[in-house]
A = this chain, B = another copy of it.
Amino acid sequence: MTDNNKPVTAAMIIIGNEVLSGRTQDKNLAFVAKMLGEIGVDMQEARVIPDELDIVVATVNDMRARYDYIFTSGGIGPTHDDITADCIAAAFGVKLEKHPLAMQALQAHYDAQEAEFNEARQRMARIPEGASLIENPVSTAPGFKIGNVHVMAGVPKIMQAMMENILPTLKGGEKLSSVTITSNIPEGSIAAEMGGLQEKFPEVNIGLYPFYSPEGAGVSVVARGRDTAQLAEVEAAVKAHLADIGAQIVERPASIAAT
């Protein structure tokens, strides 16, 4: 929690025509959201937008004013359609400059590969004035942080490595805990009871997630909250109700864990 007892908030901006066209399946939102959840930062909104300067600038300026942390993915490579650094510099009203440390690291990287450190590759060293670098152990070209905005690559394994470097710099909130209770019964058979339980425990978020899998269908009840005593009460109440109606508690089938 911050001093005024509000949760710490975050939002994500996924930049890329290839995600909007369906050519690329985004996997970064789920990764970032889970990692932030572990330190008590709540992902509250995500947007997927095209590689267009006006749209990126407007979106970044709108969202950075409303959330504690902003994370972007995509558009920091060497090609003409990688315009995220230009957009962030424009959003903050600062110059975009070749960063000496980024130039040095990239020069060494391409020297080691006996590849040319050409003008296109030097684009990846262009960093908004006043930004700090985010290290990229996978392919060297750095991300950067300016204000509360963290600018990362779109390729998942590079983005994940950047998040590992960002995480220790973030101020987390009070961690949300959660319990999951899964049963092989239809969602609708416990919906009314769970709605009543939600009313009784307004500070716990109770969600019902139906699933369909080759191993059978069912529902997971997920209760999340900051007060573990209340969570334990909710868990006991859910289990008691399932026992009352003769429902089994089961493992959530692995085949639908990621759907």
A residues with a Cβ closer than 8 A to B are 17-27, 29-35, 37, 43-50, 77-81, 115-116, 118-121, 123-124, 138, 155-157, 186-189, 191-192, 194-195, 198-199, 205-212, 222, 224, 258-259
Q: State how many angstroms separate the Cβ of A180 from the closest Cβ of chain B.
A: 9
Contacts of A120 in B (CB 8 A): 188, 191-192, 195
Query: Which residues of chain B come closer than 8 Å to A80, judged between CB atoms?
Result: 191, 194-195, 198-199, 206
Q: How many copies does the complex hold?
A: 2
19 contacts between A and B (CB under 8 A): A17-B205, A18-B209, A19-B29, A19-B30, A20-B44, A20-B45, A22-B30, A22-B37, A24-B30, A44-B50, A77-B191, A77-B208, A78-B187, A80-B194, A80-B195, A80-B206, A81-B206, A120-B191, A155-B212
**Main secondary structure on A side of the interface with B:** mixed
Contacts of A49 in B (CB 8 A): 45
The answer to whether A25 touches B259 (Cβ under 8 A) is yes
Most B-side CB within 10 Å, residue of A19, A37, A46: A46
Verify B26–A43 contact, CB threshold 8 A.
no
Expressed in whole angstroms, the Cα–Cα distance for A17 and B225 within the complex equals 13
* CA distance in complex: A139, B201 (Å): 30
In contact, A209 and B46 (Cβ under 8 angstroms): no
> In angstroms, how far is the closest chain B Cβ from the Cβ of A46?
4
Report the Cα distance A37→B77, complex, angstroms: 26
**When the two chains form their complex, are residues B47 and A47 in contact, meaning their CB atoms are under 8 A apart?**
yes
**CB <8 Å contact, B21 and A37:** yes
- Does B47 lie within 8 Å of A34, measured CB to CB? no
The minimal Cβ–Cβ distance linking A222 to chain B, given in whole angstroms, is 7
- Contact partners of A118 in chain B: CB under 8 A: 188-189, 191-192
Asked if A46 meets B45 with Cβ closer than 8 Å, knowing A22-B32, A27-B259, A208-B77, the reply is: no
